Structure 1
């Protein structure tokens, strides 16, 4: 599967390597084009997943704020709920197209 933003592939991995949580596809950290990602200071803590890390994405000379997010250290109970360890996996905002 691919995550595409404005015709640029920002992540790609086989579907069996992704994790689906609450309607979002989470890509393994090694599958993303890391040089396009910039850590954001936007704070958020999910009540059941834990502290979230947002990332802005470089699109040419433009920085698109908070288009990706990850849970670097999810709560242990989140692993039980999801059924897998999704530490560091990345999901994307709705303007990033995830396709087969």
Structure 2
């Protein structure tokens, strides 16, 4: 699987986890040079607290388009250390 933004691969892995229709990529599969941590957090009732990244490629930024659960609830432990995408990130 590949995650792409602005025609550039920002993450690639054969070992994604699918949860609620989202592919979660292992943290070591993302290209950190494109990612910036943001202040946004959200809470999911069964997964826990999510933190976000913005992605910037060739001067274009997609704000808060990637999220991860640093300390997920037990029910979502399989996505610990993984990153998912939305808001225009192409997953192929």
Shift of 1:94: 3.8
Bigger Rg, which one: 1
Matches within 5 A, 1:25-64: 25-64=23-62
> How many correspondences in the alignment?
92
Q: SS in structure 2 opposite 1:52? A: strand
Provide the TM-score with structure 1 as the length reference: 0.85
Tell me what 1:97 maps to: 90
- TM-score, normalised on structure 2? 0.92
Higher strand proportion (structure 1 or 2): 2
Instruction: Identify the range of structure 1 (55-64 vs 31-40) with the bigger mean alpha-carbon deviation.
Output: 55-64
Gaps of 5+ in 1: 80-84
| CA displacement at 1:61 relative to structure 2 | 2.4
Partner of 1:88: 81
Q: Give RMSD over aligned pairs.
A: 1.1
